[in-house]
Structure 1
Amino acid sequence: TISNIALLYTKQGKLDEAMSKYSECLDINRKAHGPFHASSAEILCSMASICEKRADYTEAVALYAESLEMKRKLYGNEHFSIADTLNDTAVVLTHQNNFEEALSLYEYSLEMKRAVYQGDHSSIVDTLNNMAYVYYIGGNYSDSLALYAERLAMMKRLYGDTHPSVAVSVNNIAILYDKQCKYAEALAMYTESLAFKYRLQESENADVTIADTLSDIANMHEKLGNYPKSLEVYTQSLELKRVL
């Protein structure tokens, strides 16, 4: 019950109150179950997440490390919960611009998730996305593209071609092709992204994202020297934005 109250405080953005309740819950748990217990490990992760939200990254890493040590004593060296905590620690390290260590933990997490799940899984999708992002912000567009492509293929197998996140993934790949000056490939991916968005047009803010993608497509035509087509598509985008 105390942990539920802490979660509600977190959802309301009352982070100090949430942290206080989680600390209380952790103390009770340790008295009841001893120093190593699955519930205590998860509470530590929740506390680390609050520290991350506060931008107290050093404390977040320390709490994740404490949880990780506990989980290894409870589960051994290979467990989905350990893989998740490695991933979450890497997210915090990314916030600290510690990209090399973040990638090392992401790779460790990904390897463990592949071993645990033995196939496609949403948790693997998340780690592929996080790794791709780190490579992207580090300017390693080739490795980022490869991971985003793997993520996209897995998402299509898991969710089908009409899931909103698929359109986002396609768009990310288009951006990477653009960064590499591969404008024809970028145009193809932006066009695919647009088709997804038209199919999902009933979703919130769909028209805004369609207008943005039309603008991206026009930009690719411009870079390819197809100025009449670029002007035509820019006009479409502008007309759509005017009615929003």
Structure 2
Amino acid sequence: MYQPALAGKEKALGLDHTSTLGTVNSIGNLYKDQGKPKEAEEMYQRALAGYEKALGPDHMSTLNIVNNLSLLFSNQGKLKEAEAMYQRALAGYMKALGPDHISTLNTINNLGNLYYDQGKLKAAGKMYQRSLAGYEKALGPDHTCTLNTVNNLGNLYSDQGKPKEAKAMYQRALAGYEKALGPVHARTRRIAEMLNALSVVDRK
């Protein structure tokens, strides 16, 4: 469905029309979901170049493609490239939307995840704390985005050898997930398992 739509738009509107580029981005998303990162990157890079030309580097459509590339690179383990894209997306979202917008906060949290994967735990903690404060302000303390960051902090503290702080984060996340998702949801059960593991360590 996408391919004939893309061909039609290219013929009727041109290669660099924003509607054409939107379809290019959609095909990139499809390839990413199909596990075809090379093809997805080609589509994203084409869409990015087109949006930069048509709308400028700081337009939301451009920044959304930058964010898509960030996630793609991160999933591929291309952490250096992912960090560059995240930083660009963050700067753009900060300028266009402000520090408390969900897109900004999501990018901050994703940067925290990236730093965590790189073993930069101190930097990851700063990003998680920053995104947590923003999520609490924008969405409230019991929203799943807030709770996901609380869980991230629990994992971070556990890796840093801070069981007391980790336990406090996991308990908060567990209570929130039980309320928001129910006691048998996979996230809820996973947090309960982490808490049990910490309790076993404490008893030892």
For normalisation by structure 1, the TM-score amounts to: 0.76
CA shift, 1:216, in A, is 2.7
Name the SS of the counterpart of 1:162 in structure 2: coil
Match of 1:134 in 2: 114
Q: Is 1:101 the counterpart of 2:89 in the alignment?
A: no
State how far apart, in whole Å, the 2-side matches of 1:31 and 1:211 are: 52
- Listed as ranges, the matches of 1:1-244 within 5 Å are 21-200=1-180, 203-206=181-184, 209-223=187-201, 225=202, 227=203
CA shift, 1:219, in A, is 3.3
CA shift, 1:191, in A, is 2.2
Count of paired positions: 204
State how far apart, in whole Å, the 1-side matches of 2:37 and 2:190 are: 34
State how far apart, in whole Å, the 1-side matches of 2:45 and 2:193 are: 45
What one-letter code is carried by the residue in structure 1 that aligns with 2:194? D
Per-residue Cα deviation, 1:177-230 (whole angstroms, up to 9, x for no partner): 000101121122122223323433xx345466555434433433444x4x2xx8
Which deviates further from its counterpart, 109-118 or 140-149?
140-149
What one-letter code is carried by the residue in structure 2 that aligns with 1:213? I
- Does the Cα contact within 8 Å between 2:105 and 2:131 map onto a contact in 1? yes
Per-residue Cα deviation, 1:33-77 (whole angstroms, up to 9, x for no partner): 122211111111111111112222111111111101110111112
State how far apart, in whole Å, the 1-side matches of 2:187 and 2:72 are: 29
For normalisation by structure 2, the TM-score amounts to: 0.90
Structure 1 gap ranges (5+): 1-20, 231-244
State how far apart, in whole Å, the 2-side matches of 1:90 and 1:194 are: 29
Structure 2 gap ranges (5+): none
State how far apart, in whole Å, the 1-side matches of 2:10 and 2:182 are: 45
Distance 1:186 1:72, change over 3 A: same
Name the SS of the counterpart of 1:135 in structure 2: helix
- Does the Cα contact within 8 Å between 2:177 and 2:183 map onto a contact in 1? no
Distance 1:31 1:54, change over 3 A: same
